């Protein structure tokens, strides 16, 4: 089994010092940085936009895994690409298969990676099952989008296993990322259930030594 990668979620860091949060992740050799963009419509919080992504981009070479929890991803996609995002993840709940295709072509033509995220109660849509070869990542959310620091919803784990099985059966190379309530003591179990990337907010930045928590 390949090692599970870690994507610290800076939403859980000091929002007045995101540069410091990124620095901690870089120094501890995190695999990628997870940036949660929330528009106050799709989920009940407002975080940051492309300007912040761009400012942080200058501080770090790690892949930026930008999780777009927004109602109109296509409208803002270019801005996040220009800001220096590497993996752009959009939510299945706001898409049709056709809208996904537009997003996919826009990102592929810019050589960016494409992710699809699912809220805890959302199943992988049938259109997405037909388009697995167009995906670089699936984010299975194990909390409702909005805030860091919530407990992982274990009822989502059978879905994680089903998606892991499907990806394996289809033989596609798609990262399977778990987002929400990941802790040091459940990360191993998530890996066994098929996740190969874990997002960690509070489990990293809620600790007195974020670098130690990442390591």
Residue 102 or 211: which CB sits closer to ligand DX5? 211
Confirm if 87 and 66 have CB atoms less than 8 A apart. yes
| Least distance CB 44 / ligand DX5 (angstroms) | 10
In the list Zn ion, ligand DX5, none, the entry touching 182 (Cβ below 5 to 8 angstroms by class) is ligand DX5
Which stretches of the chain bind ligand DX5, using CB under 6 A? Answer: 9, 11-12, 34, 36, 67, 143, 145-146, 148-150, 179-182, 199-203
Q: Which residue is nearest to ligand DX5 (CB)?
A: 201
Tokens of 170: 């289809």
Q: How far apart are CA 14 and CA 5, in angstroms?
A: 23
Q: How far is CA 172 from CA 54, 113, 115, 164, in A?
A: 31, 14, 14, 10
Confirm if 190 and 172 have CB atoms less than 8 A apart. no
The answer to whether 179 is a known catalytic residue is yes
Catalytic option among 14, 136, 179, 185: 179
In the list Zn ion, ligand DX5, none, the entry touching 156 (Cβ below 5 to 8 angstroms by class) is none
Among 24, 36, 175, 177, binds Zn ion (CB under 5 A): 36
Strands (DSSP E) contained in the chain are 5-8, 33-38, 64-69, 87-91, 113-118, 137-141, 175-179, 197-200
The answer to whether 86 is a known catalytic residue is no
| Least distance CB 130 / Zn ion (angstroms) | 25
Catalytic option among 14, 31, 36, 153: 36
Catalytic machinery residues? 36, 179
């Amino acid at each position: 089994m390949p090692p599970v990668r870690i994507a610290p979620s800076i939403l859980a860091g000091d929002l007045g010092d995101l540069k410091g949060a990124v620095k901690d992740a870089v120094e501890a050799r995190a695999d990628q940085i997870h940036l949660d963009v929330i528009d106050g419509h799709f989920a009940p919080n407002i975080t940051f936009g492309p300007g912040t992504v761009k400012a942080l981009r200058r501080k770090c070479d790690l892949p930026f895994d930008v999780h777009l929890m927004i109602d109109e991803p296509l409208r803002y996609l270019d801005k996040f690409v220009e800001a220096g995002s590497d993996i752009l993840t959009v939510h299945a709940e706001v898409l049709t298969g056709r809208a996904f295709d537009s997003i996919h072509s826009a990102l592929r033509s810019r050589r960016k990676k494409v992710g699809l995220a699912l809220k805890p109660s959302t199943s992988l849509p049938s259109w997405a099952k037909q388009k697995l070869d167009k995906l670089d990542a699936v984010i299975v959310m194990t909390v409702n989008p909005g805030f860091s620091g919530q407990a992982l919803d274990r009822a989502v784990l059978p879905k994680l296993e089903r998606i892991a099985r499907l990806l394996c059966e289809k033989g596609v190379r798609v990262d399977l990322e778990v987002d929400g309530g990941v802790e040091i003591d459940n990360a191993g179990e998530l890996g066994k259930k098929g996740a190969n990337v874990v997002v960690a907010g509070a489990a990293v930045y809620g600790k007195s030594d974020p670098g130690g928590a990442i390591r």
